[in-house]
Structures are given as C-alpha cells and as structure tokens.
Amino acid sequence: MARRERLIDRLTTSLAPTSIVVVDESHRHAGHAGARPGGETHYHVEIVSARFAGMSRVARHRFVHEIVRDEFESGLHALSLKLLTPEEVIR
C-alpha cells in the first residue's frame, strides 16, 4: 500500500473525519531537504473532524503527527496540515 493510502487509512481510523484530503506534494520539494527520487516524502493534509474540538492548533498538529509517527520513521519528511472541526468549516 502506498504512503498516501496508509495515511488516509490511519487518519480515518483515528479521527473519523467528515472530510479528508491527502495530496502528495513531493514533486514540489525536489532538491530540498528530505526529498527522495521516488517521492512520498511531503504531503498536504486537510481534515475535518469533531475529534479536534477543544484542541488548540498545536495540540491538533501534535495529535496528527503522533497518529502517523511510524510514517516519519520510514521516510515521510513533512506534513502541511489544515485541521478543522465541522463547526469551523466556512460554508
């Protein structure tokens, strides 16, 4: 299973999101720190989940990083995160 699918699986299981978007942006970081020829190193992630209620922005980021910690240990270099509760979504 590719890293994108593993990220979606783990985040969905842990956060029960109403919305999740995971985009591999590794191609935009070619030649930068942490980049690898095969990609799968830099991702943009947007999640809407009630699990973020009552958490600060920093706590949300730490929570997501903990969920995918093993991915960082196996080559993931960076996540760009947008983490919202359903009430924070602008409609």
In which band, very low, low, confident or very high, does the pLDDT at 14 lie, cut at 50, 70 and 90? very high
- How far apart are alpha carbons 67 and 51 in whole angstroms? 13
What pLDDT score was predicted for residue 25?
84
> What value does the mean pLDDT take over residues 57-65?
98
How far from 35 is each of 16, 28, 55, 78, 80, CA to CA, in Å? Answer: 30, 9, 31, 10, 15
Lowest mean pLDDT among 5-14, 31-40, 82-91: 31-40
**What are the pLDDT digits (tens) for 19-58?**
999 999 885 645 566 555 556 788 999 999 999 999 999 9
Q: pTM value?
A: 0.85
pLDDT score of 66: 97
Fold of 1-51+79-86: GMP Synthetase; Chain A, domain 3 (3.30.300)
Tokens matching residue 31 = 């030649």
